[in-house]
Chain A
Amino acid sequence: AQSVAQPEDQVNVAEGNPLTVKCTYSVSGNPYLFWYVQYPNRGLQFLLKYITGDNLVKGSYGFEAEFNKSQTSFHLKKPSALVSDSALYFCAVRVHMYSSASKIIFGSGTRLSIRP
């Protein structure tokens, strides 16, 4: 079955330290991978995506993610965390169904908490 997993429910990091939020996936073919962020009482916002090319992709708010095909992972990273990065983060993968039809499935989410 095609799926995406976020093994950590919560990640706690001190402000100024690097952060990593983990994601692994299981899909057939070449994956389209995404990260979204959800702030309290808000909808999800697109952060970044991997389609093809360079394994390190850069996105909004200083975030980046590294695609690793052999480990089927797409971990979200940031070199120096800010308190304002505290939010719920979702990894997602686009799943091809038929013809040009596809849908996006989400991981269960990881709550990132940055302490001052």
Chain B
Amino acid sequence: DADVTQTPRNRITKTGKRIMLECSQTKGHDRMYWYRQDPGLGLRLIYYSFDVKDINKGEISDGYSVSRQAQAKFSLSLESAIPNQTALYFCATSDISGTNTGELFFGEGSRLTVL
């Protein structure tokens, strides 16, 4: 089983619909992230959470919200999806403790298409 699991892997929806992307991890990491990938733009940070009570906006948080339900779960919501939110979304985790230096561990991605 994957250490970082994202569901759904693919989703097609219509403008105005509410969408939730879910992420769960078995790595025991405190830190979790949501990134968005667009061709030619690399990965851009949407939201990040350093623990269950610490949630922060990234560089492109408008139109998105998140919920950290537990250490292992971090979900991303699009309250009213629009076409320019069509992208590949990645959840990632990291751990900065001891000898760990914060490299990220990624899920397989959730491809979202908004029509």
* A residues whose Cβ falls under 8 Å from a Cβ of B: 6, 9, 32, 34, 36, 41-46, 49, 51, 90, 92, 94, 100-109
B43: which of A42, A100, A106 is its contact (CB, 8 Å)? A106
The reply to whether the CB of B48 lies closer than 8 angstroms to some CB of chain A is: yes
Interface size class of B (residues with CB under 8 A): 20 to 34
The reply to whether the CB of B103 lies closer than 8 angstroms to some CB of chain A is: yes
A49 to B48: give the CA distance in the assembly, Å.
21
CB distance from A67 to the nearest CB of B (A): 14
A43 to B105: give the CA distance in the assembly, Å.
9
A43: which of B40, B96, B106 is its contact (CB, 8 Å)? B106
Task: Say yes or no: A51 contacts B101, CB within 8 Å.
Answer: yes
Task: Say yes or no: B104 contacts A90, CB within 8 Å.
Answer: no
